[in-house]
Structure 1
Amino acid sequence: MAEKHGHEVLRLPPYHSQLNPIELIWAQVKEEIRKNNSNSSQKLRVIEELTRKAMNNVTVENWQKCVAHTKKVEEEFRRNDIVINHMVEKFVINISNDSSSDEE
């Protein structure tokens, strides 16, 4: 259905909130609710109204910033992975019994 309407479905890795832009959007929404909610008005109706307003305040620009930030984090992970892979290739542990330290 998404593709039919010109959208691409992107599967994101579970348990990696830093790779999921929606987490940044939810943080924005929750912060707005927190700012606009008085401690005395904890009624569900009030929270629902605040939530709808906060969600309606999410802009295309908010999404673009969150996606750009996520791409930066992803690229940093890739760079670090390359460095780690390079280091791992040079790191070898000999576990055989014929090492000279065993004989000493």
Structure 2
Amino acid sequence: MLFAIFWLAGELIHLMVLAIIAAAVMSILLSFGVVNHRSQFVNTVADFLDRVTNPVLNPIRRHIPAFGNVDISPVIAILLLQALQFVLSDIYGRLVMAGLGF
């Protein structure tokens, strides 16, 4: 049971990292006009990615100023999520070594 909880937390963090990367790529593609922003499919995907990633990115954007037109909040969010994943992995490893991992 404990393994399943830590596995699920790790997978959710991994999915959030992938969503942040996809949102950043979609933003770049939209800003350079590579994809048509008038397409309903593109708007649906962009809206979904914004709704998924904004709860993670908005607190970072409030505390970190923008560097011109460059938004570094996705990079910071990915680094923080990876650090959280390492911490969870360490906690699980310590629980297993203590004999509580079942």
TM-score past 0.5 threshold = no
Q: Which has the higher contact order (CA 8 A, sep 6+)?
A: 2
- Report the TM-score, using the length of structure 2 for normalisation: 0.42
Which structure has the greater CA radius of gyration?
Answer: 1
- Report the TM-score, using the length of structure 1 for normalisation: 0.41
Which structure has the highest helix share of the two?
2
